[in-house]
Amino acid sequence: MNADSARDDLAFMRALVGGDEASPSVLGKTFGELYAAGGLCYGVQMLLHGAQFLGWLPTSDSAGMLIGLGPTVVFLAALAWILRHAAPEAPTAVNRAVAATFGTVGFANLVMVAILGSVAWRLHSITIWLIYPCLVMIMQGLAWRVAFSMRRRPWMMAVALGWFVTGLGMAAAILNIGAYIIVAGAGLIAFMLVPGLMILRQARQAGA
C-alpha cells in the first residue's frame, strides 16, 4: 500500500465516521426515483392481489400471471428510463457505502429466490415460497439499519424497524393470505414508496 492509497483510505474512513453531514441527500436522486418506483409498482401489485382475494378481480391463471409479472415489467421499464435520463452524480463516501449495502442485499435476494424457489418447487409448497417475501423485507430492514448507522437520521431507523415489523407480520399471517397481502402492501407503500419520495425530495433540495 503506497502513501497516496493510504491517504485515500483514511479519508474514506473519516468520511464514514463523520457521516458526511454536509450532504442532506441519502443516496441521490436516482436511487430515490428507483426506490419510489419499486414501492409504487409492488405496492399496486399487492393491492391487485388483494382485489383478487376479495373477488373484485378475476382469479384465473392468466389474470394471476398478469398481476404477478406486470408490475415487474413496469418497474424494469421505469428502471431503464430512469437510468437513461439520470444526471451524473458525485456520491459521498457514506452514500457509496450505503449504496453498496443495498446492492449486496439485492444480490442476496436473488440467491434466496434460487434457494427457496427450488425447495418450494420440489416440495410443491406455496408456504415455503411465501417465506421469501418475508425475508426480502428483513433484508431491506438490514440495509436501512446500515444507512442509519452511517447517517444517524432517526427516520432511517424508523424505516428499518418498519421493514422488520413488516417481515414478522407477514410471517405471522402466512396462513391467512388476505392478511399477508395487506401487511405486505402496507409495508411496501410505507417503507419503500414513502422513503423513496423523501430521498428524492432531499436530493432535489440539495441540487442533485
Q: Is the pLDDT of residue 23 over 50?
A: no
Instruction: Print the domain residue range for 198.
Output: 3-16+25-205
pLDDT in tens, 62-102: 887 788 888 888 988 998 998 888 777 656 666 777 778 88
pLDDT in tens, 111-169: 998 898 889 889 988 889 899 999 999 999 999 999 898 878 899 999 999 999 999 99
| Amino acid 24: pLDDT | 43
Spatial separation of the C-alpha atoms in residues 164 and 157, rounded to whole Å: 11
Reply yes or no on whether the pLDDT at 10 is more than 50. no
**Inter-residue contact 177 to 53 (CB < 8 Å):** yes
pLDDT per position as a tens digit, 164-195 = 999 999 999 999 999 999 999 999 999 999 99
d(CA 34, CA 185): 18
| Structural domain total, the chain | 1
pLDDT of amino acid 191: 96
